[in-house]
């Protein structure tokens, strides 16, 4: 294993301006006894915040009775404020990290797992060799040192394992956490903070009779993506958030492997959206429901000041249909589509089918408290990317998703390390018009599975230009389309069957490899992932 990794790392050097150490290891750099670092900290880099993160096995109490064996990241602040890290102790969640825009950070990652792994900073604009490409996976006993400046605007970013062929299982085991960035613009808004700024990580898991996480590589589970039998919020089942009678900022992350949520308050209160993947919108938006696909984040404003003590509110996922009538659904299912019950029943993928109606968490109004509860009319300014500034304003780069016979592809190719094709080379400092095509023209559809794909691009955040859906898919599309937030900065966009989504994406500052892939983690591991080479 070690040999292979090192050969891959060495190969990768040809793509990166600042190479990492390759086959040579530097024992002296590891902070923790017993770990061997594969790269060096750079001499001229003095971090404002330095954190050591160790990936380890652990047993945590999730259900009553036996503890659950998980993979847990635990951190320690070496330099900088203690508030930069919350270990989320007692849960499988990785630490919540909090930084400010402009800070220089060093993250020292130790791997004490019985497997290779590497962490990726989802949504962050960092150099290619700091991005956690699977080529940088480290073995048990090794350390990877990340150093970068926080260039992103304030927002709810996150991180997770990105190990070749094992991302789904590793994230499922616990290797994912939040990476929250703040900046002055955001702080000037005086949004609810401290205990009224609540991160909520939504995931689904299945447990066996011994309270252990159940995950199978079963074919249907891979094709559809893993669907757990129960919902966990912040690593807890039946999650209840106690709140005070004042306004809150709720930050949701869909950290599930494949489950898509259609979020709504069960009393019909509209969802007030403050922000998405790449931070705050220009102004709040209200929706009856909001779609949240794997990898996406959503910031919500909720004011409890008019609610009586002791009252409860439930956040639900509402029913929706995601099949395409133009496609074949799951092979033999034809136009009846893939709506949950049938999938669940027939394939026994999950007792909680995708697109069914179920509760996610409860909120209980637990105490009286005075707050400043005025929702700002404007949030933070967003510069709209201009089509005329794109390198290819009339020739969008197409990324077409397809799934057939146990393979998941982008533009007819599955993931391969170190396999850059000519159409995957992008000039640095260019703005690109890109379209995600999920069977929009219906062309090869007859043989393909019609599924939604949450498409994610590494590196800088992008903006959505337009969404188009073909006539055959419009009925099902109507059950989700009111819940898309199309404004603001995004790094993951849900592309429904029969849909084409066009985006503008900047590729500034950094050369090297940056991935693009489906964030249904089973699809990603099955090959629905590629690299762009920025040069």
3-state secondary structure of 320: coil
Give the nearest distance from C-beta 3 to ligand C2O in angstroms.
25
In three-state secondary structure terms, 517 is strand
* Positions that interact with ligand C2O (CB under 6 A): 120, 122, 160, 162, 295, 456, 458, 515, 517, 519
Q: Which is nearer to Cu ion, 479 or 520 (CB)?
A: 520
Phi, psi of 446 (to 5 degrees): -45, -40
Give the whole-angstrom CA distance, residue 181 versus residue 461. 14
With respect to ligand C2O, which residue has the nearer C-beta, 397 or 519?
519
Considering the complex, state which of residue 361 and residue 399 has its C-beta at the smaller distance from Cu ion. 399
Contact 81/49 with Cβ under 8 angstroms?
A: yes
249 binds, among Cu ion, ligand C2O, none (CB under 5 to 8 A by kind): none
- Please select the residue that binds Cu ion; options are 9, 106, 122, 530, rule is CB under 5 A: 122
> From Cu ion, ligand C2O, none, which one binds at residue 295 (CB under 5 to 8 Å depending on kind)?
ligand C2O
Per-residue CA distances from 231 to 71, 262, 358, 372, 386 (Å): 19, 14, 9, 32, 40
Number of residues that bind Cu ion (CB under 5 A): 6
Closest CB to ligand C2O among 120 and 339? 120
Report DSSP letters for 266-307, one per residue: TT-PPEEEEEETTEEEEEEEEES-EEE-TT-EEEEEEE-TTS
Residue 453 site contact among ligand C2O, Cu ion, none (CB < 5 to 8 Å, cut-off depends on kind): Cu ion
Whole-angstrom distance, CA of residue 258 vs CA of residue 456: 13
| Residue 523 contact among Cu ion, ligand C2O, none, beta carbon within 5 to 8 Å by kind | Cu ion
Given Cu ion, ligand C2O, none, residue 8, with its beta carbon under 5 to 8 Å by kind, binds none
494 near Cu ion, rule: CB under 5 A? no
Task: State in angstroms the smallest separation of the CB of 446 from ligand C2O.
Answer: 30
Smallest gap from Cβ 447 to Cu ion, in A, equals 17
Instruction: Name the 3-class secondary structure at 388.
Output: helix
Closest CA to 63 of 240, 191, 236: 236
Tell me which of 339, 453, 500, 505 binds Cu ion, using CB under 5 A.
453
Residue closest to ligand C2O (Cβ): 122
Residue 145 CB, nearest approach to ligand C2O (Å): 20
445 binds, among Cu ion, ligand C2O, none (CB under 5 to 8 A by kind): none
Q: With respect to ligand C2O, which residue has the nearer C-beta, 321 or 409?
A: 409
Can you list the alpha helix ranges (DSSP code H) found in 93-200? 167-173, 184-187
Q: For residues 175 and 201, what is the distance between their CA atoms, to the nearest angstrom? A: 13
Query: How far, in Å, are 42, 129, 506 from residue 510 at the CA level?
Result: 17, 10, 11
Q: Is 153 in the site for Cu ion (CB under 5 A)?
A: no
Q: How far is the CB of 515 from Cu ion (least distance, A)?
A: 7
Q: What does 160 bind: Cu ion, ligand C2O, none (CB cut-off 5 to 8 Å by kind)? A: ligand C2O
Q: CA nearest 55: which of 141, 180, 156? A: 141
Residue 511's binding partner out of Cu ion, ligand C2O, none, with CB under 5 to 8 Å set by partner kind: none
Give the footprint of Cu ion on residues 500-519 (CB under 5 A).
Answer: 518
Question: Where in 360-389 is the site for Cu ion (CB under 5 A)?
Answer: none
Q: Does 520 bind Cu ion (CB under 5 A)?
A: yes
Q: How far is the CB of 415 from ligand C2O (least distance, A)?
A: 11
Outline where DSSP puts E strands in 374-461. 397-404, 407-410, 425-426, 430-438, 453-457
* Nearer CB in complex with ligand C2O: 349/515: 515
The answer to whether residue 125 forms part of the interface with Cu ion (CB under 5 A) is: no
- Give the integer Cα–Cα distance in Å for 230 and 159: 23
Least gap, CB of 519 to Cu ion (angstroms) = 8
CB nearer Cu ion, residue 205 or residue 453? 453
Q: In 10 A of CB 193, how many CB atoms? A: 10
Q: Are 441 and 322 in contact (CB under 8 A)?
A: no
Residue 443 neighbours by CB under 8 Å, 6+ apart: none
Spatial distance between the Cα atoms of 123 and 278, rounded to a whole number of angstroms: 7
Query: Is 458 a binder of Cu ion (CB under 5 A)?
Result: yes
Could you say which of Cu ion, ligand C2O, none residue 518 binds, taking C-beta under 5 to 8 angstroms by partner kind? Cu ion
CB of 23 to Cu ion, least distance (A): 27
Nearer to Cu ion (CB atom), residue 170 or residue 272: 170
Burial label, 283 (beta-carbon count in 10 A; 0-12, 13-18, 19+) = middle
With CB under 5 to 8 Å by kind, the binding choice for 517 among Cu ion, ligand C2O, none is ligand C2O
Compute the distance between CA of residue 109 and CA of residue 95 in angstroms, rounded to an integer: 13
Q: Which of 122, 121, 166 is nearest to 525 (CA)?
A: 166
Residue 162 interacting partner from ligand C2O, Cu ion, none (CB closer than 5 to 8 Å by kind): ligand C2O
At closest approach, how far in Å is the CB of 207 from Cu ion? 25
What is the Rg, in whole angstroms, of the alpha carbon atoms belonging to the chain? Answer: 22
Q: Does residue 36 sit in helix, strand or coil?
A: strand
The residues that touch Cu ion, with contacts defined as CB under 5 A, are 122, 453, 458, 518, 520, 523
């Amino acid at each position: 294993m070690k040999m292979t990794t090192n050969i891959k790392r060495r190969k990768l050097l040809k793509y990166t301006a600042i190479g990492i150490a390759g086959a040579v290891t530097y024992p002296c750099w590891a902070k923790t006894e017993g770990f061997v670092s594969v790269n060096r900290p750079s001499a001229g880099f003095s971090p404002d915040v330095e954190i050591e993160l160790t990936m380890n096995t652990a047993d945590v109490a999730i259900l009553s009775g036996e503890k659950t064996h998980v993979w847990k990241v635990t951190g320690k602040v070496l330099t900088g404020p203690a508030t930069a890290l919350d270990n989320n102790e007692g849960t499988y969640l990785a630490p919540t990290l909090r930084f400010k825009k402009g800070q220089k950070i060093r993250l020292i990652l130790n791997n004490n797992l019985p497997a290779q792994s590497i962490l990726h900073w989802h949504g962050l604009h960092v150099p290619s060799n700091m991005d956690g490409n699977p080529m940088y996976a480290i073995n048990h006993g090794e350390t990877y040192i990340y150093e970068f400046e926080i260039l992103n605007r304030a927002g709810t970013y996150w991180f997770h394992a990105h190990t070749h062929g094992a991302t789904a299982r590793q994230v499922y085991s616990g290797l994912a956490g939040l990476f929250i960035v703040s900046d002055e613009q955001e702080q000037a808004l005086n949004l609810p903070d401290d205990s009224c700024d609540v991160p909520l990580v939504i995931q689904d898991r299945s447990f066996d009779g011994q309270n252990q996480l159940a995950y199978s590589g079963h074919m249907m589970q891979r094709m559809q993506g893993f669907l757990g039998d129960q919902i966990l919020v912040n690593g807890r089942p039946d999650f209840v958030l106690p709140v005070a009678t004042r306004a809150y900022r709720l930050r949701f992350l869909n950290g599930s492997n494949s489950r898509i949520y259609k979020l709504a308050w069960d009393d019909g209160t509209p969802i007030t959206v403050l922000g998405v993947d790449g931070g705050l919108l220009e102004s709040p938006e209200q929706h009856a429901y909001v779609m949240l696909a794997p990898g996406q984040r959503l910031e919500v404003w909720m004011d409890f000041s008019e609610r009586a003590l002791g009252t409860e509110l439930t956040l639900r996922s509402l029913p929706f249909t995601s099949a395409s009538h133009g496609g074949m659904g799951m092979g033999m299912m034809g136009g009846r589509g893939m709506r949950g019950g049938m999938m669940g029943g027939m394939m026994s993928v999950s007792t909680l089918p995708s697109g069914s109606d179920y509760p996610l968490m409860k909120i209980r109004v637990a105490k009286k408290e005075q707050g400043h509860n005025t929702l700002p009319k404007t949030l933070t300014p967003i510069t709209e990317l201009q089509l005329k500034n794109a390198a290819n304003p009339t020739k969008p780069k197409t990324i077409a998703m397809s799934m057939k016979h146990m393979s998941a592809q982008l533009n007819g190719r599955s993931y391969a390390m170190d396999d850059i094709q000519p159409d995957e080379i992008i000039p640095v400092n260019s703005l690109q018009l890109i379209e995600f095509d999920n069977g929009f023209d219906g062309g090869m559809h007859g043989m393909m599975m019609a599924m939604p794909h949450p498409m994610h691009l590494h590196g800088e955040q992008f903006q959505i230009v337009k969404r188009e859906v073909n006539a055959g898919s419009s009925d099902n599309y109507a059950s989700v389309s009111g819940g898309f937030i199309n404004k603001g900065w995004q790094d993951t966009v849900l592309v429904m069957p029969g849909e084409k989504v066009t985006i503008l994406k900047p590729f500034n500052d950094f050369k090297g490899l940056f991935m693009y892939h489906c964030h249904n983690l089973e699809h990603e591991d099955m090959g629905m992932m590629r690299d762009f080479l920025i040069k």
